[in-house]
Structure 1
Amino acid sequence: MYFAALLARTEDGWEASDTDLDDVETLSDLTELAREASADEDTVLVFIEQEDAWFGIVRLDGEDDPRIFLSDAAAANRSSYGEILLTDELLGRDPGTDDDLEELVDLDGTEDGEPEPPAVTAEDGSDDYDDGSEEAADAVPAGPLGDLDILADLGVSRRTLLAFESDALSEIADALGASEVLETVR
């Protein structure tokens, strides 16, 4: 089960709104949704949480690029909403490398006209050889990923951010002085 909310910082404090992510397919969609929640170019935080598996924060300050923090990138990678936040830039990949690779590689994993590589077996002769290639292809690290200082200027240090576990978004909202407004949309 997911929970998603927007917190917009205004002159009068924080305003929260429940948000539906059903129509959000990309980080650009999420960014547009968050910017619409702010009347001015105030700070907007998007909170996304999947039960106690992972949480993510996207921060927008005016027209600046979004800043992202994920509590557990590997767990988020197994989630449709988490995948939205796992951008090539966040993962340190060159944009578009996956698409280019798919065009060059045939369905059997070889380039057109190239012979298939010989089968590799374990030292004992069985077919249970694991060269780690799945892990290399999946290259999403377990644990926190992104901007650890995403909330530092709002009073939540990187050390505090990394210490949050269960019910993290409520604790973060409490540290920001926005727990009451977040609870109204929960």
Structure 2
Amino acid sequence: MYFAALLARTEDGWEASDTELDDVETLSDLTDLAREASEEADTVLVLIEQEDAWFGVLRLDGEEDPRIYVSDAAAAARSSYGEILLTDELLGREPGDDDVADLDSLDLDGTEDGEPDNENDSDEEDEEAAASGEAVSHSPVGDRDILADLGVSEKELLALDEGDALSTIADALGAAEVLETVR
């Protein structure tokens, strides 16, 4: 089960609205939806979560390009809504590279069947594996400072539990009550 909400920061504070993603197929569609829903807002956040598996944040500041953070790339890659957020650039792949690994062959720890679990793998090796289409890592991807200026540091963002991440983010923003009204 999915939950998606839009938080828009206006002069009067944060406003929340339930966001329907059924007609959203691309990142561009999601960006357009967010911009249309809150034309007068200076900052717009689209918050998406799938049960306790993953969460994602898309941030728009005016006409700037969207900024994205996804808590678990592999879990999001198995989700139609997660695939919207997981751009080639975010995953470190060349645009249009369709040579993606079979995600069903991943263990829960993100390694492929039969591959040794090496805890000394570097982030660079994970990026190279993603770029070559070997696997999508269970690690977070995207802009880890996406909410830093709003009160959620990189360290706090990385420490969030998928089960209550959106509530924790909204609480840090001072928008917990408005988010709960659309939940």
SS at match of 2:133: helix
Find the partner of 2:167 among 167, 170, 181.
170
Summarize the Cα distance change of 1:78–1:13 in structure 2 as closer, same or farther, 3 Å threshold: same
TM-score (norm. length: structure 2): 0.80
Q: What is the count of residue pairs matched by the alignment?
A: 157
RMSD of aligned Cα (Å) = 2.2
Aligned residue number for residue 153 of structure 1: 149
Measure how far apart 1:131 and its partner are: 8.2
- Verify the 8 A CA contact 2:9 2:41 in the aligned structure 1: no
SS at match of 1:15: strand
Aligned residue number for residue 11 of structure 2: 11
| Counterpart mapping for 1:36-115 below 5 A | 36-40=36-40, 42-98=42-98
Q: Which runs of 4+ in 1 moved over 6 A?
A: 129-132
In the aligned structure 2, how far is the partner of 1:78 from the partner of 1:97? 17
In the aligned structure 2, how far is the partner of 1:23 from the partner of 1:177? 30
Summarize the Cα distance change of 1:21–1:138 in structure 2 as closer, same or farther, 3 Å threshold: farther
1:50-105 CA deviation, whole Å, 9 max, x = no partner? 0010000000011111100011111001101001111011011111132xx7xxxx
Summarize the Cα distance change of 1:56–1:131 in structure 2 as closer, same or farther, 3 Å threshold: closer
Counterpart of 1:171, as a letter, is T
In the aligned structure 1, how far is the partner of 2:2 from the partner of 2:135? 24
- Mark the structure with the bigger radius of gyration: 1
Q: Where does structure 1 lack aligned partners over 5 or more consecutive residues?
A: 102-128
Q: Where does structure 2 lack aligned partners over 5 or more consecutive residues?
A: 100-112, 117-128
Counterpart of 2:177, as a letter, is E
- Verify the 8 A CA contact 1:41 1:63 in the aligned structure 2: no
In the aligned structure 1, how far is the partner of 2:114 from the partner of 2:179? 46
Summarize the Cα distance change of 1:137–1:37 in structure 2 as closer, same or farther, 3 Å threshold: same
